[in-house]
Chain A
Amino acid sequence: MRISRRILAGLATASLAVTATSCGGGGTSGSFDDTVTVGILHSLSGTMAISESTLVDTEKMAIEEINAAGGVTVGGKSYKIEYIVEDGASDWPTFAEKSKKLIDQDGVPVVFGGWTSASRKAMLPVYESKDAFLYYPIQYEAQECSNNIFYTGATPNQQSEPATDFMYKRSPAAGGDFFLVGSDYVFPRTSNTITKAQVKQLGGKVVGEDYLPLGNTEVAPIISKIKKALPEGGIIINTLNGDQNVAFFKQIQDAGITPSSGYYVMNYSIAEEEISTIGPEFLEGHYGAWNYMMSIDTPASKKFAKSFKERWGADRVVADPQESAYNMVYLWKQAVEDAGTFDDNAVREALVGQKFDAPQGPVEVMPNHHLSQTVRIGEINAEGGFTILEETGVVLPQAWNQKHPSSKGFACDWTDPSKGEKYKL
């Protein structure tokens, strides 16, 4: 829990300034020496717009907070942050194209963007070839470690591994068999490979696994399989995507697969935002695992939720992806100030080791460009939030998962030129 005094002081001024401006009705007219323009690149149209627009809202909020607190100070000069928002349109090549535009045409020093792994994979070659820098805020399947991407979401060992451990050892279905359900794309398949290896190590059994093609909402065959494989109840690990969750939970409840009959679902893609869409009445008693949950009872977490609601409406919620997006803007600001320049390479060096008192608790940037984070297991309650049951200490990120057969024994370290992207431990 070591937080530098400078950051605390910064936060205090930030919150003061925010209250000051909200009283004055917005419109900060602080005196800045100069401006710096950053890029924000998320889908504002198409399937992903619903999720990704919440990140844009959060990033705008973080930027305005920083501006209200005096902007970024580089070399004694204060810079006001301005932003260009580009629409990735839920189309992966568009993400690459807009990245090129932001880097070449607008000359932004940093891009905050992406949600799906597919969009990140499409952008990666652009940032690597132009040696630019992308900040990516989503929990993902890892197995990637780029020198030009900085990942503020959880890696599997910061989400699914503690969750599997909890389900097998301490949940009401402890010691039970596992059934894995997911949408048919890279994240669920990688995540489940890791889960299967882990369940084997723990001495448990995975009795079934099924993937629903994206867009398909016919869950009947999966339900009959679950009933056949787990007749007396058990643990279901769910990595379904978006609205497929609605179909899944509605139909399993109708089929009698509920916590009261011994079936417990652990979810990796359902945060507060999704709970309100699916309806808490279908989810109550099931579990979720995240780094940030809105119910965290700390001043930092409450302040984060409060300022978001003040800015965007009282019915809005904050969730883990938004918290990651919020953190990355602040971490970039700190790194720039430490580096004393907006230059990519200097910022990249200054970034590793940055600490930030995030809404989830302290986070620190590791040499593999991922964050050390706290993992929380929560039970979904009737109010549509999580009741936090467990909290780990700070967990270090593994860019190369140690349970996945293809990456076991490898790690990533960008601070040491002899190690780099993937080296043998």
Chain B
Amino acid sequence: MDLLLDSLFNGVAIGSVLLVAALGLAIVFGLMGVINLAHGELMMLGAYTTYVTQLIFKIPILKPFYNSYIIVSIFLAFIVSGVVGILLEKTIIRKLYGSPLETLLATWGVSLILQQFVRSVPLAYGTGLVISLIIGLFLPSTFPLKIKESINFKYFKFSSWILAALTGVLTGSVISSTVSKLSRASARNVDVTAPSWMRGQVEILGTAFPKTRLMIIVITLISVIAITLFLNQSAWGMRIRAVTQNRQMSDCLGISTEKVDIITFGIGSGLAGVAGVAVSLLGSVGPNVGGNYIVGCFMVVVLGGVGNLLGTVLASFGIGIMTDLIGAGRLLSIWPNMPLPLSNTINFFATTSMARVMIFALIVIFLQFKPTGLFPQKGRMVEN
């Protein structure tokens, strides 16, 4: 029982990291069909947001609230990655819908740019830049309708961008003068330290569980529930699903597909940011942090069935549990007296590297029989 619980927990813990990382991709790749290789770098931005938030909460005024910085950073990371995602969609991806190869190359280029950006720009000014992007993109939409429809709207838009740039520069220099760690560019990996209430273990049913892992599981669950509710219950969720199934028909019926694309991509990117927060709790934060997850993300989405959230959930927990079963050699402790050749084989695969090989092999075999994944898209899909 103890063993089972331990194994199940480990599997769920590994799976939830995969799931939270793949969730955004499941939306962007699954619903929109965009192969976004910069997904990992959007995660990285989320992880850096956590780091910056942590340091800002060390400023004397905010110090009393230090313990809650991780909660705040989840929302901030969602916004930061979401905004960068929206910008990416507006400037690059929009022009490349329907040409997967070009999208792949372009987003790969973006991922390199983002990596180099955090290496060579001081984080304080990076924060300033993101703040001006947020203001510049969202301020015009808060204007009253009268201004929006006026002929001079472009001047309003232009002046709001100037305001945004000024605010960005100002916040950048304020942050860089108050937090010295953010004032210099550095390629060095940085470290997010979980607040004290999140460190150590809790005991449930006689087994000790690390708190950070539980936190990641909670973040993942909340994201999955929120995104499911959004897609199935809200008006925009219905529009997104409509556009996914038949873009032209939706367009004819008056759904603004352009807006739908922006929202879908923004949410997918925002979720990548949330994943970045989760990942920053496990390891260090550096320019390459997202790149380590991107292959795993695509693997989960393909295995689960493109365009199906339930499939993504099951696939990531499946992979998580298999990783633990194979990698930690669990079968040997469940069945200690198995025949020698079998136990030798299991021992051979019971290392982290070999477990990965085994799991990839199993996935390849599985996809031979079910090429569309666990839950293939059913119903009438109009392909272009």
Contact = CB atoms under 8 A, between A and B. Distances in A.
A216 B356 contact: yes
Contact of A49 (B187, B284, B328): B187
Contact of A211 (B187, B283, B323, B351): B351
B13 A220 contact: yes
B329 interface: yes
A217 B43 CA distance: 15
Interface stretch (B101-109, B204-212, B263-271): B204-212
Taking residues whose C-beta sits less than 8 angstroms from the other chain, chain A's interface range is 35 or more
Given A243-B284, A255-B210, A256-B201, A222 B352 contact: yes
B189 A255 contact: no
B288 interface: yes
B75 to A, nearest CB: 23
Contact of A221 (B199, B333, B352): B352
B300 to A, nearest CB: 13
Contacts of A19: none
Taking residues whose C-beta sits less than 8 angstroms from the other chain, chain B's interface range is 35 or more
Contact of B323 (A221, A246, A279): A221
Contacts of A47: 288
A227 to B, nearest CB: 9
From B199, B281, B283, B333, residue with most partner A Cβ within 10 Å: B283
Given A212-B352, A277-B284, A217 B10 contact: no
A254 B200 CA distance: 5
Interface in B323-371: 323-324, 327-329, 333, 350-353, 355-356
Contact of A254 (B201, B291, B350, B352): B201
B188 interface: yes
Nearest to B186: A50
B288 A217 contact: no
A281 to B, nearest CB: 7
Contact of A278 (B187, B200, B284, B324): B284
A407 interface: no
Contacts of A217: 282-283, 292
A233 to B, nearest CB: 15
A210 B327 CA distance: 9
Interface of A: 47, 49-50, 184, 209-213, 215-222, 224-225, 228, 242-244, 246-247, 250-251, 253-256, 277-279, 281
10 contacts: A50-B188, A210-B352, A211-B353, A224-B10, A244-B283, A247-B283, A250-B281, A250-B282, A255-B208, A277-B189
7 closest A-B pairs by beta carbon, nearest first, are: A247-B283, A221-B327, A254-B210, A246-B284, A217-B283, A243-B284, A221-B328
